[in-house]
């Protein structure tokens, strides 16, 4: 059941684009990696399929696996066609068993598809030559598409930011603040970085439970550049939507912290965006982040240890949660 406490001084955010009716939404608004937690229905598979975007956004191993499966599958199809036409229409075959014959047809198909053409095997007759020509055209078009997708994956602007697994309630200036941190994990450093944080809570108003969104003012929300980790701090004071709320209140409200980061990447010469989300079960009370960076042994540079991004130590809070 949603809590009824509500800080009237907290600023409501009406620009999230997320629904306020709790009966029409379920679970968290954003997945941990920032993707919208939305399942689209109501259209046929082919109508909502965006193959190019899907191939750009899928994981690298899956992308390579799909390309390999496509390559093997298309050559199996054409090898089967050559077998149906008859292997006597492939001059230069050196095979005795059915397995060897299929292998020869498969590798002839692969050579034709890639336009390698070693020359030992060649098509004989109009039908076989037509199929081989069509396969070569298919191969050229396929490699053009795959090249475009590979280039798109490498050139697509990305923020390359990692977020801590937890958000912490930490001592801050004789009070308490909610903190999380992020860090760049490549040399694509961002400039003119701006962070906006919104908190989503289920609030009971006039006997109806609604999703309510509040702005979360940060101690520092903008930075000229981000080369090391950045700890974002939301002081819990009279202006905060979390003011005087307990751990049980936040759990009852199914609280979710929505993070939006925007910055300019000089490598891509483009603005990049990153998103993250923390649910109430990912909040840690009475903890402080462990430092991530330190001088190198020679004292001539700074070392950023990304494996410490999630590390924190216990800390005593001035408020009981």
Residues whose CB falls within 8 Å of the CB of residue 113, separated by 6 or more in sequence, listed in order:
71, 74, 75, 78, 135, 136, 138, 139, 142
Tell me which of 170 and 2 has the higher pLDDT.
Answer: 170
| Residue whose entry in the numeric block shows the structure tokens 């079960």 | 281
Picking from 155, 172, 188, the residue at the C-terminal end of a domain is: 155
- 145 and 51, same structural domain? yes
- 110 and 33, same structural domain? no
Residue 58, in any domain of the structure: yes
Domain around 277: 22-38+158-314
CATH number at residue 138: 1.10.287.70
- 170 and 270, same structural domain? yes
- 60 and 188, same structural domain? no
Distance CA 191, CA 194 (A): 9
Q: Give the chain's domain count.
A: 2
Q: What is the pLDDT of residues 229-262, one digit of tens each?
A: 899 999 998 889 998 888 998 998 889 999 999 9
- 101 and 162, same structural domain? no
Residue 8, in any domain of the structure: no
Distance CA 209, CA 1 (A): 8
Q: What is the pLDDT of residues 104-116, one digit of tens each?
A: 899 999 999 998 8
CATH number at residue 29: 2.60.40.1400
């Amino acid at each position: 059941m949603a809590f009824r406490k509500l800080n009237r001084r907290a600023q409501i955010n009406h620009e999230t684009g997320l629904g306020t009716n709790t009966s029409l939404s379920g679970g968290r608004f954003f997945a941990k990696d920032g993707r919208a937690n939305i399942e689209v229905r109501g259209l046929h598979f082919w109508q909502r399929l965006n193959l190019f975007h899907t191939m750009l956004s899928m994981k690298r191993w899956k992308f390579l696996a799909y390309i390999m499966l496509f390559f093997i599958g298309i050559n199996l199809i054409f090898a089967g066609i050559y077998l149906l036409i008859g292997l006597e229409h492939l001059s230069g075959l050196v095979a005795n068993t059915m397995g060897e014959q299929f292998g020869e047809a498969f590798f002839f198909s692969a050579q034709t598809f890639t336009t390698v053409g070693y020359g030992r095997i060649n098509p004989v007759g109009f039908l076989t030559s037509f199929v081989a020509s069509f396969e070569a055209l298919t191969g050229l078009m396929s490699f053009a598409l795959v090249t475009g997708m590979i280039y798109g994956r490498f050139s697509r602007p990305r923020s390359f930011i990692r977020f801590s697994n937890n958000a912490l309630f930490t001592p801050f200036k004789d009070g308490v603040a909610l903190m999380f941190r992020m860090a760049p994990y490549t040399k694509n450093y961002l400039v003119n970085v701006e962070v906006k944080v919104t908190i989503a809570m289920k609030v009971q108003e006039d006997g109806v439970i609604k999703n309510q969104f509040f702005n979360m003012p940060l101690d520092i929300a903008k930075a000229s550049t981000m080369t090391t980790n950045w700890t974002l701090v939301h002081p819990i004071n009279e202006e905060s939507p979390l003011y005087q709320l307990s751990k049980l209140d936040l759990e009852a409200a199914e609280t979710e912290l929505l993070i939006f980061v925007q910055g300019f990447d000089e490598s891509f010469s483009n603005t990049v965006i990153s998103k993250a989300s923390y649910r109430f079960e990912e909040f840690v009370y009475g903890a402080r982040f462990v430092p991530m960076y330190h001088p190198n042994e020679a004292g001539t540079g700074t070392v950023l240890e990304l494996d410490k991004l999630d590390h924190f130590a216990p800390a005593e809070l001035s408020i009981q949660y």
